[in-house]
Amino acid sequence: MKIFLDTANIEEIKKAVSWGILDGVTTNPTLVSREGKVDFKTRVKEICEVVNGPVSAEVVSTNYDGMVNEAHELSKIAENVTIKIPMTKDGIKAVSTLSKEGIKTNVTLVFSANQAILAAKAGATFVSPFIGRLDDVGNDGVNVLADILEIYKTYGFKTEVIAASIRHPEHVRQVALLGVHIATIPFKVLQLLFEHPLTDKGLKRFLSDWEEYEKRISSAQHG
Ligand code: G3P
């Protein structure tokens, strides 16, 4: 499973890169707006320079021409830019055009298996079902993701599935068990994946035992 970071924050991205576990980044207009006065294209360029993998940048036009124009502009920023496009009729039409041009796309705001089928038919590189937001409205996001994976397998669709809107470590475990291609994870949740109380307890014990051992050795050596 590839790990993407779901953020537009460059410091978080640099930290995850330094851990050697990052395969890509996804951003969206909300995440960019959290970054204050930063210029969107400048930030996308910055992210693309530090990440060795796909970086999703989302269009904000809602009509076909606007989306395709924005996609062309964003594609000029760097080779690893992926164009994130919402799951609408115009969006799917834009994805069809862009995929024929060899431009990588990520269909976002996907909440059903049927929407994911359309994204794959249009030639999307990635599709992003939002599992947390499905849970929020009383559906089972992980189940929808499981359906998408099964349908894609049955028909041999090449589109890679990104589990998006991940809210907690349990989501990560569940989507990994399903064999999802990619999980895009918020920085807070990524940090939690490191944690286990027995790791902390165990390390504390190792270090205190080692300290005792060194004291014994040193007093034996110095009489
Ligand atoms: O990248 C989009 C998606 O991950 C959004 O997550 O938490 O705003 O539903 P959330």
User: Ligand 1 pocket: which of 3, 5, 6 to mutate (most atoms <8 Å of CB)?
Assistant: 6
Could you tell me the distance, in angstroms and rounded to a whole number, from the CA of residue 151 to the centre of ligand 1? 23
The pLDDT of residue 40 is above 90: yes
User: Which numbered atom of ligand 1 lies nearest the CA of 132?
Assistant: 9
Query: Binning pLDDT at 50, 70 and 90, where does residue 7 land?
Result: very high
Rounded to the nearest 5°, which phi and psi values hold at 82?
-115, 135
pLDDT digits (tens, 9 = 90+) for 106-136: 999 999 999 999 999 999 999 999 999 999 9
pLDDT digits (tens, 9 = 90+) for 147-156: 999 999 999 9
Beta-carbon-side half-sphere exposure of residue 63 (alpha carbons within 13 Å) = 2
Q: Which of 22, 39, 119 is nearest to 80 (CA)?
A: 22
All residues at 6 or more sequence positions from 222 whose CB lies less than 8 Å from its CB, including other chains: none
The pLDDT of residue 223 is above 80: no
Count of positions (residues) in the chain: 223
The pTM is what? 0.95
- For the segment 138-150, the average pLDDT, to the nearest whole number, is 98
The pLDDT of residue 188 is above 90: yes
Query: Binning pLDDT at 50, 70 and 90, where does residue 222 land?
Result: confident
- Any atom of ligand 1 within 6 Å of the Cβ of 26: yes
User: Ligand 1 pocket: which of 56, 130, 185 to mutate (most atoms <8 Å of CB)?
Assistant: 130
